[in-house]
């Protein structure tokens, strides 16, 4: 029997790009010694968050509150917005899925940068959307070109990450605000701020929940160290936020994650300590790269793109050689970004493993 899939599904590729480090470990037959590929926070969540989750594990028999009330209100207070303007969901990836389903009918154009966050594109594709792209400019996403592209194609969504993944680059708040101000009518800017806590001050434009042209995405997966919890949120105009109720999985957020997120949000001290450790780790990564004759890109995130100085094939070989030496790293998918490998902020121990492996890896790749 052949299955009667929808026309959209029939067109989707059957192979997907999602390979976790665990799959690589199983294939290699041994564990990584440094897990630096997924921009997770190796410094872990707040001890208060851990305790809150451990306590809540006893209550795991109860469904989580479908309104995410307590966390939503805490986030609203933290960001100085109304709770009606906050949507809590199953990580930014889950929220991208809902956003695509709200806006992307089959064939609808969606504007992004060539080489930008692939999971956004993946979610758009599952709705039959048509991705249109502009290249990065000097390793930055290009706001003006994105706006022009969106106007040209009458795109329903624009994606911009600030700071950016995979390059770590960023725009100042004024530039992003000018982009918001010029979003064409009928287009929504999906502003992915997953890494904003690591960025220098002056990177994040003020939140204006009266502005219907932008939806801002944040997460507990990065600075808060709760990637495994699947907890993200979006901030936007109340009418837009409410529209997600039409199709979101109302009981979809894990109860233990809700408790962890609430405690993490309250622990500013831990957050600041993580941000400091990440800044030190970025410097150390740059130092290690420099010791090997390589340069790094400035980063406003918890990872650093190391320019391997040649093409994507070469960087791919460097990456493979690092993986073979038990260092989990990843790299951008398209040229010219793929001359780089992407190394997440690690502990001192992690980065010593990396420092020890890199010279051999470079030699093996040459």
109 is a contact residue toward its own copies (CB under 8 A): no
Range in contact with its own copies (rule: CB under 8 A) among 43-51, 145-153, 158-166, 195-203:
43-51
Tell me how far, at minimum, the Cβ of 227 lies from its own copies, in Å: 5
Contact 340, 167 (CB under 8 A): yes
Tell me how far, at minimum, the Cβ of 206 lies from its own copies, in Å: 19
Task: Print the binding letters for residues 139-168 with its own copies: x by CB under 8 A, - otherwise.
Answer: -----------------x------------
210 or 293: CB nearest its own copies: 210
Q: Token pair of 332, please?
A: 């951008």
User: What is the C-alpha to C-alpha distance for residues 318 and 325, in angstroms, rounded to an integer?
Assistant: 11
- SS3 call for 46: coil
Q: Note the residue count of the chain.
A: 366
84 is a contact residue toward its own copies (CB under 8 A): no
Contact 251, 64 (CB under 8 A): yes
Q: Token pair of 362, please?
A: 């470079």
35 is a contact residue toward its own copies (CB under 8 A): yes
170 is a contact residue toward its own copies (CB under 8 A): no
Q: Which of 3, 27, 29, 30 binds its own copies (CB under 8 A)?
A: 3
Tell me how far, at minimum, the Cβ of 30 lies from its own copies, in Å: 15
User: What is the C-alpha to C-alpha distance for residues 32 and 364, in angstroms, rounded to an integer?
Assistant: 19
Nearest Cα residue to 158 out of 104, 194, 202, 105? 104
User: What is the C-alpha to C-alpha distance for residues 109 and 8, in angstroms, rounded to an integer?
Assistant: 15
Of residues 275 through 304, those in contact with its own copies by CB under 8 A are: none
Q: Which of 9, 31, 78, 273 binds its own copies (CB under 8 A)?
A: 9
Contacts of 128 (CB under 8 A, 6+ apart): 7, 8, 11, 104, 105, 106, 107, 108
78 is a contact residue toward its own copies (CB under 8 A): no
Tell me how far, at minimum, the Cβ of 309 lies from its own copies, in Å: 30
| Angle 113-117-123 from CA coordinates, rounded to 5° | 100
Q: Token pair of 106, please?
A: 């089959």
Range in contact with its own copies (rule: CB under 8 A) among 87-95, 165-173, 301-309, 317-325:
87-95
28 is a contact residue toward its own copies (CB under 8 A): no
| Angle 308-311-316 from CA coordinates, rounded to 5° | 70
Of residues 213 through 272, those in contact with its own copies by CB under 8 A are: 213, 221, 225-230, 239-240, 242-243, 245-247, 249-257, 260
């Amino acid at each position: 029997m052949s299955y009667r899939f929808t026309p959209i599904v029939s067109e989707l590729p059957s192979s997907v790009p999602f390979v976790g480090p665990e799959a690589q470990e199983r294939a290699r037959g041994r564990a990584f010694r440094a897990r630096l590929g997924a921009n997770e926070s190796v410094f872990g969540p707040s001890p208060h968050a851990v305790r809150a989750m451990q306590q809540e594990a006893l209550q795991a028999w109860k469904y989580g509150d479908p309104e995410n009330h307590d966390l939503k209100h805490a986030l609203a207070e933290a960001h100085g917005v109304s709770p009606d303007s906050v949507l809590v969901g199953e990580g930014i990836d889950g929220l991208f899925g809902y956003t695509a389903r709200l806006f992307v009918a089959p064939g609808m154009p969606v504007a992004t940068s060539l080489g930008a966050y692939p999971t956004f594109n993946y979610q758009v594709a599952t709705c039959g959307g048509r991705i249109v792209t502009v290249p990065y400019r000097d390793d930055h996403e290009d706001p003006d070109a994105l706006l022009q592209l969106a106007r040209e194609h009458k795109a329903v969504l624009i994606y911009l990450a600030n700071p950016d993944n995979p390059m770590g680059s960023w725009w100042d708040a004024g530039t992003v605000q000018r982009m918001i101000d010029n979003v064409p009518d009928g287009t929504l800017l999906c502003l992915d701020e997953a890494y904003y806590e690591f960025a220098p001050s002056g990177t994040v434009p003020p939140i204006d929940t009266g502005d219907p042209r932008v939806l801002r995405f944040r997460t507990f997966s990065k600075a808060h160290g709760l990637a495994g919890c699947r907890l993200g949120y979006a901030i936007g105009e109340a009418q837009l936020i409410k529209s997600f109720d039409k199709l979101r999985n109302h009981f979809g957020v894990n109860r233990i994650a809700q408790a962890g997120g609430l405690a993490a949000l309250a622990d500013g001290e831990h957050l600041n300590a993580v941000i400091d450790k990440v800044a030190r780790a970025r410097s150390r990564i740059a130092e290690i790269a420099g010791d090997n004759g390589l340069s790094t890109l400035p980063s406003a995130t918890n990872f650093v793109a190391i320019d391997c100085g040649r093409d994507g094939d070469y960087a791919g070989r460097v990456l493979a050689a690092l993986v073979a030496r038990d260092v989990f790293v990843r790299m951008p998918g398209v040229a010219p970004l793929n001359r780089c490998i992407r190394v997440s902020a690690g502990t001192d121990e992690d980065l010593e493993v990396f420092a020890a492996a890199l010279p051999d890896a470079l030699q093996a790749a040459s």
